[in-house]
Chain A
Amino acid sequence: MTKKTTNFILTIVLAAILALFLPWWSVMVAAFLSAVFIPLKKASVFFIPFLAILAYWIVYCFVLSSANDFTLAKKISELLKVGGNPYLLILITGIIGGLAAGIASIFGKQVAGFAKKE
């Protein structure tokens, strides 16, 4: 397995476990930790956890929402003025989670690098 794949999977696994104890920002902790344990390089530092959480949240939201015919997602999508489209709302949710994770991962990478240096 490449480092990228490992980081990707670890981020999702940690996110799923931490969500049992922590609020939504558990994804940030998950990405931070996987960056510390499995440091990546360059743009991957951000994009791998970004994609991991994006994928995780999109699948999770889709499963929840499709079971209820996207009834609420349509309304929330209208409420947030994203056109009443539930899929767009799911994508936005994924991007929000991904962004938070990606940025936390950059921070994790810096902390890891700093610790090594010391």
Chain B
Amino acid sequence: MKYFKLLISLALTVAIFYGLNTKFGNIPPLGKFLNPYSGIWQNETDETLTGELIIPGLEAEVTVHYDKQLIPHVFAQNEHDLYKAQGYLTAKHRLWQLEFQTFAAAGRLSEIVGAAALDYDRTERRRGMGFGADQAIAYMEKHDTQTLGYVQDYADGVNAYIEQLDPEDYPVEYKLLDYAPETWSPKKTALLLMYMTKMLAGGDDDLEYTNALRMIGKENFGLLFPDFYDITDPVIPKETDWSFIDVPQTEAPQYEAVLDTIQETIQKPNPDNGSNNWAVSGAKSATGNPILANDPHLALNLPSIWFVMQLSTPDHSAFGATIPGVLAVISGFNQHIAWGETNATRDVIDWYKIEFNEDRSKYRHDGQWKDVKVRVEKIEVNGGETYIDSVLYTHHGPVVYDKNFKANNERSGYAMRWIGHDGGNNQRTFIELNRAKNYDEYVSALQYWNAPAQNFVFASTEGDIALWIQGKFANKWEGQGKFLMDGSKAENDWQSFIPQRFNAHTKNPERGFVSSANQHPVDENYPYYVFNDGYETYRNRVINDFFNSKETFSVEDFKMLHNNNYNLKAQELVPYMLAQMDASALTQEERAVYEEVKAWQFNNDIDEVGPSIWRQWYGRLYNMLWDEFRVENTALRAPYTYQTIYLLKHHGDHEFMDILETEDKTETAKDLFLSAFKAAVANLIEIKEKEGDYTWANYKGTYAGHLLQALPAFSRFDIPIGGDRNIVNATSENHGPSWRMIVEMTDPPTALAIYPGGQSGNPGSKYYDNFIDTWAAGEYHKLNFLQSNEATDEIMGTQILKPAGND
């Protein structure tokens, strides 16, 4: 009996220990997670902003002043210490995010969350994310050890922080998922830069276009997907003189697209990833100082992608938004210049059909059999076996699709040629921009930037404004890379690159302003091949119309423009639909909605119902119109919005207007307007019954989701903000202006900024999401640009980072 009792109590003890120390599915190990010594209660703290901290490897003391927004103002004696401090402070406030994003970049999420992420991880590996990061490190090792040295400094700073941590100090997400941070390395910075490249230049529709070309023929394809729309309001003004370009476009060979049927393609980045930026010259500014603005549109996440810092040495002082994992300020200003970026989408991904030999060790190219290289990707899986994926590489790049992944032919595959694999030196561009003093130094900084191509806007206290479209672009022959190409023919390879000095740019244009909003970079007169890559056609026109509307502009005008909710897209179609549609066929309920949308002035403000009606109406219409593009087992993309609206208005009886399902009837645009409207109203009534009303704020329900699949407890929902995609205030459900900045080039510059998040990555901190309401209200914080290492009354606390062993 004694033995029995002893054994039972022992078993119980072991069971309770195991039960509370182990993670079960989504439930964290409760003993570890909830105990007051090392569990989440230790994260229930505010930030410590005073005192001294020892950081091994520092050459001299670094002072960090925190202002009331928890923005660190860092004063270092040299750049090595500066980037060490940046790494340290970023880790201090954003460690989990910092690391998690590089796991996502590298295709290592299965290591944390298990087999559910395996398909994602395989996609990232096959996309060559790690391969690209390796190329970037190899480039720096060979050509730019100085930049690599700074990247190492940043790594040392991150690691100095990690090494000081005990398990109770780990950010709460580590406790929730039951793992620990690992050592940071320069490769992680390279991976993060690849992540940005993927996010902004990792999408293309070549394979979808190939399917479409096969299905609808060349003529229809040209009508649905034209290289240029009937209107263009490009980034670089139309009147730009290109006569200085003396390297011609590559001559086109005899060429035929490979018209394969592609069933499925890899996941693409969100097509809404984009941005606005603009600057007005002194002559066009109300104060005589140039003014610059930037607002990158990205997924609205918590912790936010941005972390604001002032980074100073005795030689320079930069201030603005940084990205955890990347050195220096990304979008910001220093004492002399201001800069910001928007995405300059170009087709920098092409696809080649590869023909293999029998054992897939060689592939055919230029009349020879060339060796295939194999990159073995080992994907560790939490709670499962390591998955090994051997990815074949050709000189084009990785064979993403083959018999092992989303395709089934033994002897062929599709290889990806992506500029992201070319080993750029993007980090150097930011480091140099941070210390640039004038236009020439800005241009010089840009030359290292390969991808993702960006529209770099610029303004200086000297009075210059400019915009360069910077990236490394293949000098393509007419039509190259729009569709799947035969990878065995050498003439289909990228032959050369557009010399960097011939990248489209404009300095102090006559119109007195520069702007970009992801629209067409240039018009047809630019001497290189550029085709429509899903370019924006609405925000750019609203912005440019605004700057053409009067003589001078102030910071107040800039704020208004950031928050502009004008829906040009709806304005270009709704009146036409209302005029064309047979309203006599409407029921009473439909009639009421009809009157609502008729009264709408096309502003996507939060209390309007027009935007919700438009969304429903246009959404139904688009789906009805492009039913031809929903084909089973065929990857397709329907035409872009601008061309869709153009066709509805100018080709209303084209065969595509027909709804395939209704065999006895041939619909025209007019019929679609009515059917779509009726379907939209039915849905709106349903929403009204469920939610009370369909005002825009309610309908849209903007939210900032935590990086872990928008974990509700750590996210913010129902943020009252207007706007939508294709509107200057580009806020849709979970996407929008992730950073808004306005800089006036006074001496020193004065700046306003805001972002939908907060400086702290700790959900237990009041600084976790404290900017969101200010952001939603269209307001800004003044950035306190400290001119010397002295605390002002804006400063809440000062921390000294000290070298180790210096007493």
Contact = CB atoms under 8 A, between A and B. Distances in A.
Interface in A74-118: 75-76, 78-80, 89, 92-93, 96-97, 99-100, 103-104, 106-107, 109-111, 113-114, 117
B243 to A, nearest CB: 61
Nearest to B3: A114
B712 A68 contact: no
Interface in B34-52: 34-46
Contacts of A32: 13
A71 interface: yes
A30 interface: no
A70 B41 CA distance: 10
B170 to A, nearest CB: 13
Label chain A's interface by main secondary structure.
Answer: helix
Interface in B13-36: 13, 16-17, 20-21, 27, 30-32, 34-36
Interface in B720-779: 762-766
A23 to B, nearest CB: 6
Contacts of A92: 34
Secondary structure of the B contact surface, majority rule: helix
A67 B10 CA distance: 39
| Range for the number of chain B residues in contact with chain A | 35 or more
B40 A76 contact: yes
B46 A68 contact: yes
A24 interface: yes
B13 A28 contact: yes
Contacts of B38: 23-24
A73 interface: yes
Interface string B164-183: 00010000100010000000
B32 A103 contact: no
A63 B35 CA distance: 13
Nearest to A84: B713
Given A57-B35, A75-B713, A106-B12, A64 B42 contact: yes
A92 B28 CA distance: 14
B626 interface: no
A64 B41 contact: yes
Interface in A36-69: 57, 60-61, 64-65, 67-69
A79 B764 CA distance: 13
A61 B764 contact: no
A19 interface: yes
Contacts of B44: 64-65, 67-68, 70-73
A114 B39 CA distance: 35
B34 A93 contact: yes
Given A72-B764, A79-B711, A110-B5, A64 B36 contact: yes
B31 A76 contact: no
B2 interface: yes
A68 B172 CA distance: 15
Contact of A104 (B13, B27, B713): B13
A25 B31 contact: yes
B9 interface: yes
Contact of B16 (A93, A103, A109): A103
A66 B711 CA distance: 24
A103 B12 contact: yes
A79 B104 CA distance: 23
A114 B36 contact: no
Contacts of A65: 41, 44
A76 B713 contact: yes
B39 A24 contact: yes
Nearest to B21: A25
B85 to A, nearest CB: 27
Nearest to B43: A72
B120 to A, nearest CB: 23
A58 B9 CA distance: 26
Contact of B12 (A60, A68, A107): A107
B714 interface: yes
A88 B765 CA distance: 20
Contacts of A67: 44-45
Contacts of B766: 69, 71
Interface string B563-589: 000000000000000000000000000
B231 interface: no
Contacts of A114: 2, 6
A60 B41 contact: yes
By size class, the interface of chain A is 35 or more
A62 to B, nearest CB: 9
Contacts of A19: 37
Contact of A61 (B5, B9, B17, B41): B41
Interface string B763-806: 11110000000000000000000000000000000000000000
B30 A57 contact: no
A109 B45 CA distance: 39
Given A28-B17, A100-B17, A100-B20, A60 B9 contact: no
Nearest to B35: A24
A82 B712 CA distance: 13
Given A61-B36, A114-B6, A96 B30 contact: yes
Contacts of A103: 9, 12-13, 16
B712 A93 contact: no
Contacts of B714: 75, 79
A103 B6 CA distance: 12
Interface string B149-173: 0000000000000000001000010
A79 B6 CA distance: 38
Nearest to A101: B16
A107 B10 contact: yes
B41 A78 contact: no
Contacts of B37: 19, 23-24, 26
B426 to A, nearest CB: 36
A114 to B, nearest CB: 6
A68 B45 contact: yes
A72 B172 CA distance: 9
A57 B6 contact: no
B32 A71 contact: no
A27 B21 CA distance: 13
A72 B43 CA distance: 8
Nearest to A78: B713
A61 B10 CA distance: 29
Contacts of B42: 64
B336 to A, nearest CB: 41
Given A71-B765, A97-B35, A107 B17 contact: no
B35 A68 contact: no
Nearest to B172: A72
A65 B42 CA distance: 9
Nearest to A31: B13
A100 B12 contact: no
A79 B711 CA distance: 8
A17 to B, nearest CB: 12
B72 to A, nearest CB: 21
B2 A25 contact: no
A114 B9 CA distance: 12
A27 B39 CA distance: 14
A111 B6 contact: yes
Contacts of B9: 103, 106-107, 109-110
A95 B338 CA distance: 56
B169 to A, nearest CB: 14
Given A107-B10, A110-B9, 12 more contacts: A23-B32, A24-B21, A25-B21, A64-B36, A64-B45, A72-B762, A75-B714, A76-B40, A96-B31, A96-B35, A100-B31, A109-B9
Interface of A: 19, 23-28, 32, 57, 60-61, 64-65, 67-73, 75-76, 78-80, 89, 92-93, 96-97, 99-100, 103-104, 106-107, 109-111, 113-114, 117
Those 4 A-B pairs whose CB atoms lie nearest each other, nearest first: A72-B764, A24-B35, A79-B713, A60-B36
6 contacts: A61-B36, A97-B35, A100-B17, A107-B10, A110-B9, A110-B10
